[in-house]
Structures are given as structure tokens and as C-alpha cells.
């Protein structure tokens, strides 16, 4: 592994069994996602050219820590994407349907959805995961995980001068520049409650990634739980 470059700015290699690598027709990783049940992945619209994109050849890879895993790696699953459903326009969310159900095991599991309209208390420690750009801070060949503390929108808006909306949430700037970057987009901000890990936020592009002192902004998933459940019921 010594020759590889590490990802997620300031992160460390780690396990996140609900984090999915979205792959284009050439098999290249381009964005992250979160497995919310055996048939559906949540990601962000910014990863796709439109809500009607032809998904032929696009796949979701899960159960691996490596961005470019070796053939025959145990536990790895690569499943074709068959459907994209865009959320309400301000949500920036998409749901992606898998052609066949993911098989859950110790490397692949779903993440729970939050209660509707739940606001994560400030100072809650959550984690992001992804195979994205690390700006030279880590090994880009493996999944990187970084812990981040939730800050209130009021606090976050002191930095962003009121631009953070109700449907967004923030985490602190960690160690002078830990955060999500290119190709992490669509991945999870996961927070642990008493009995499961919960998808509280989805990583979205920011003008500057991993910028020292800058909070990280995410889409607040709890505002869209009703839509998410409807899509799964109607499928």
C-alpha cells in the first residue's frame, strides 16, 4: 500500500459498510452513496448530468475498502443501477435503484433513516466516508473515514453569512481542514444512535473543499424521509 495515495481530506482508512462507490460505464469511481435498504442507494443530484440520465453500464460497488479492488476480493458486490429518482429540487438528493438486492453481511449493511425532521444536536460526533480527493493527506486507494462534530446552523451561518438553509446541516472544520472533497459527493454523514448508524446528511459539493477553518455543509436527510419512504413504497 505504500505506493498508493490516500482520500477524504485528513481522513484515515476505515470501515463504513453502507457507503457505496458509484461507477461509470468504464468502471471508474465518480461519487459516493449510502445503502438505505437492499434495493436503494441515496446520493446527490450533482453527481449526474440530469434526472433522466441513461444508467446503462452504471453500477454500485459495495463491500470493499478499495477504490480499485482486486478481482476475487471476498465480500465485494457490484450491482447494476436501473433507476434514478430525483428528490424535491432544493434537496439535491437522488435515489438509485439496484437491479438485484444487495446481500447483507459483515462488509455490506444498510444505514438507518432519521426520524422525520429530526435536528441532530450540536456537538454530536458523526463520521463521513468516501474515496474522494485527499489533497495529499491520505491514501486515495482506500475508503477514508473522518469524524466530525455537528455545529448548529446558527453557528455555521456566522461563517457562511446566512447562506446555510434549513434543509442543510453543518459539521465543524476539523483539525484545520478535514472534510469532503471531489468524488466524495453523495456519500454519508453518519451519526450513531442507541441501536444503529443513521444517515443524517449527504455530502454535497462546496466551492472549496478541505479548506482550513471552513465548516462542512450537508443536505439534512430528515427533511426528506417522507419522500424517501414514498419512493421505496411505490417501486
Side-chain-side CA neighbours of 61 within 13 Å: the count stands at 26
Integer Cα distance of 10 and 179 in angstroms: 7
CATH numbers and ranges of domains, the chain: 19-110+225-234 (2.40.10.10), 112-222 (2.40.10.10)
The grid coordinates of residue 89 equal: 429540487
How many residues are present in the chain? 235
Q: Shortest CA distance to 88 belongs to which of 139, 24, 45?
A: 45
Q: State the pLDDT confidence band at 69, using cuts at 50, 70 and 90.
A: confident
224 Cβ contact partners less than 8 Å away, ≥ 6 residues apart: 87, 88, 91, 93, 167
- Residue 6 banded pLDDT, cuts 50, 70, 90: very low
Paired with 62 in beta bridges are: 77
Which range in 4-13, 125-134, 156-165 is most confidently predicted, on average pLDDT?
156-165
3-state secondary structure of 67: coil
The pLDDT of residue 138 is 59
What CA–CA distances, in Å, run from 147 to 12, 39, 76, 79? 9, 27, 25, 29
- Averaged pLDDT for residues 29-50: 95
Express each pLDDT in 154-202 by its tens digit. 999 999 999 999 999 999 875 545 566 666 789 999 999 888 999 999 9
Give the pLDDT mean for 60-78: 82
Burial of residue 176, with CB atoms counted within 10 A of its CB: 0-12 exposed, 13-18 middle, 19 or more buried: exposed
Amino acid at each position: 500500500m505504500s505506493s498508493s495515495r490516500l482520500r477524504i481530506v485528513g481522513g484515515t482508512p476505515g470501515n463504513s459498510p453502507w457507503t457505496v462507490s458509484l461507477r461509470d460505464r468504464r468502471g471508474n469511481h465518480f461519487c459516493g452513496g449510502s445503502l438505505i435498504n437492499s434495493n436503494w442507494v441515496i446520493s446527490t443530484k450533482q453527481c449526474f448530468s440530469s434526472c433522466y440520465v441513461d444508467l446503462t453500464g452504471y453500477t454500485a460497488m459495495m463491500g470493499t475498502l478499495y477504490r480499485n479492488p482486486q478481482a476475487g476480493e471476498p465480500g465485494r458486490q457490484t450491482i447494476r443501477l436501473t433507476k434514478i429518482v430525483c428528490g424535491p429540487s432544493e434537496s439535491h438528493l437522488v435515489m438509485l435503484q439496484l437491479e438485484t438486492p444487495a446481500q447483507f453481511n459483515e462488509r455490506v449493511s444498510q444505514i438507518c433513516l432519521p426520524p422525520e425532521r429530526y435536528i441532530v444536536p450540536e456537538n454530536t460526533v458523526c463520521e463521513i466516508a468516501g474515496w474522494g480527493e485527499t489533497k495529499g493527506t491520505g491514501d486515495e486507494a482506500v475508503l477514508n473515514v473522518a469524524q466530525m462534530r455537528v455545529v448548529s446552523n446558527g453557528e455555521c451561518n456566522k461563517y457562511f453569512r446566512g447562506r446555510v438553509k434549513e434543509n442543510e446541516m453543518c459539521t465543524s472544520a476539523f483539525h484545520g481542514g478535514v472534510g469532503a472533497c471531489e468524488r466524495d459527493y453523495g456519500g454519508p454523514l453518519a451519526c450513531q444512535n442507541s441501536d444503529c448508524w443513521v444517515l443524517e446528511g449527504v455530502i454535497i459539493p462546496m466551492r472549496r473543499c478541505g479548506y482550513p477553518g471552513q465548516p462542512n455543509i450537508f443536505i439534512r436527510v430528515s427533511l426528506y424521509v417522507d419522500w424517501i419512504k414514498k419512493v421505496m413504497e411505490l417501486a
